[in-house]
């Protein structure tokens, strides 16, 4: 199976920042913005300036800040050819609401304590996810226009911990119905990416 060229580029990108990334993950409050900025600089070396947008493309009906995608790349016709959400979490001391905007109690109660938790539209009601990584998953899948040439990427940067808390144990097990690609795998951090399919 041929690897998506955007995924190949992301593997190279995260390999180039791996040492600095391990340091920045300890800087609460700026981690996700730092990754966005570094990726933006990386893409600017390969794309026209006006074609790379950070928090510049709205995925919803209204031009609301919380509906803007982290990163978008426009084609020559100024229509998006790539949209991506980046989530930076850790296995310790992160808010449980980062999972779905609410908490983790239902997941701890309804899923096995081991093995992957596979998220799919048939198993998770969209309205249940008011925030966090699950909301971004559905936002990317549901985004119009319904172009099959549009690449939709959900990227998770996960700082590892020898003693993960409840959220850390859950977030490390989250998978989606699309197969994940490992972009970086080191003792201190793992980066995964899901190329998402168009919602049906």
Give the 3-state secondary structure of residue 39. Answer: helix
Structure tokens at 108: 């701890």
Contacts of 2-10 with CB under 8 Å at 24 or more apart are: 3/181, 4/151, 4/181, 4/195, 6/82, 6/151, 6/153, 6/195, 7/153, 7/181, 7/183, 7/193, 7/195, 9/46, 10/153, 10/155, 10/183, 10/193
Domain membership of residue 174 as a residue range: 5-196
Pairing of strands 151-159, 52-58: unpaired
Give the 3-state secondary structure of residue 48. Answer: coil
CA–CA separation, 22 and 165 (whole Å): 20
pTM comes to 0.91
CA–CA separation, 140 and 150 (whole Å): 10
Q: How would you write the pLDDT of the chain (200 residues) with one tens digit per residue?
A: 678 899 999 999 999 999 999 999 999 889 999 999 999 999 998 878 789 999 999 887 665 556 899 999 998 888 899 999 999 999 999 998 998 888 888 777 777 778 888 887 766 655 556 789 998 998 898 887 766 689 999 999 999 999 999 999 999 999 998 999 999 999 999 999 999 977 66
Q: Structural domain tally of the chain?
A: 1
């Amino acid at each position: 199976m041929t690897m998506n060229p955007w995924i190949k580029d992301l593997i190279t990108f995260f390999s180039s920042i791996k040492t600095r990334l391990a340091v920045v993950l300890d800087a609460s409050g700026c981690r996700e913005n730092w990754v966005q900025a570094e990726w933006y600089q990386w893409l600017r070396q390969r794309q026209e300036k006006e074609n790379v947008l950070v928090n510049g493309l709205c995925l919803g009906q209204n031009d609301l800040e919380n509906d803007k995608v982290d990163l978008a790349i426009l084609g020559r016709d100024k229509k998006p050819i790539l949209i991506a959400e980046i989530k930076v979490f850790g296995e310790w001391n992160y808010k449980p609401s980062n999972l779905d905007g609410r908490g983790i109690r239902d997941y701890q109660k309804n899923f096995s304590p081991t093995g992957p938790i596979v998220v799919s539209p048939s198993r998770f009601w969209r309205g249940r996810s008011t925030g966090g990584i699950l909301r971004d998953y559905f936002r990317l899948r549901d985004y119009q226009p319904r172009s099959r040439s549009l690449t939709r990427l959900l990227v998770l940067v996960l700082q590892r911990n020898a003693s993960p808390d409840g959220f850390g144990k859950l977030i490390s097990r989250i998978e989606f119905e699309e197969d994940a690609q490992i972009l970086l795998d080191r003792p201190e951090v793992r980066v995964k990416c899901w190329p998402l399919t168009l919602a049906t």
